[in-house]
Amino acid sequence: MLPLNQYTKNIRHDFMKATFGEKEAHKNPFIQFERWLEDAVKGAVQEPNAMVLSTANKKGKPTSRVVLLRGLKSHCFTFFTNYQSKKGAEIQENPYACLLFFWPELERQIRIEGKIVKATDLVSNAYFASRPHESQIGACASPQSTVIKNREVLEKNTVLLQEQYPTKVPRPKNWGGYVLQANYYEFWQGRESRLHDRICYSLQKNKTWKKQRVAP
């Protein structure tokens, strides 16, 4: 096998599965997102709702991580986390963020930009109640993003919480949902020779969407 540095330079994969043009792109980017998400589900993409969430602090220093899309409605995309995590702190300092879905099986990716707001207590309570008991315990046991001495800290917290809450677990106040309200979409379809199709939508002041092709 080649040294890894050389190997990364030599990786080549041409994209030939599909095309994506302005005419077939729906005028409403949310409907277009739903179409592609449905394709990903039908195409047996592993974790089709997995998305890279990129946030930045008030100084503009970015951080990215994979989270799961847990709700979507009319240009709003919901995920759940610990409000006191690093992502939570950055969202509080700078509410503008980006989501990235990458589905290599379909040679597609979608980038969505917008502003993040907190989900309502009603939404957060309902989703937390729907989670498996083990996941509810895990959300309470982990002081997400903080330094801990070792894994035993988590395991001890878990045992204590299981004894305290053998059935129903109340949602912690520091855990809940966020909603990204989209103002920009980019749909990327891989094409041959790196001449990919990129169709973008920008939200205008009159609340309409402007659709454009951009160069790959």
* Cα gap 49→53, rounded to integer Å: 12
Choose the catalytic residue: 108, 194, 198, 213.
Answer: 194
194 as an active site residue: the answer is: yes
Residue numbers annotated as active site: 194
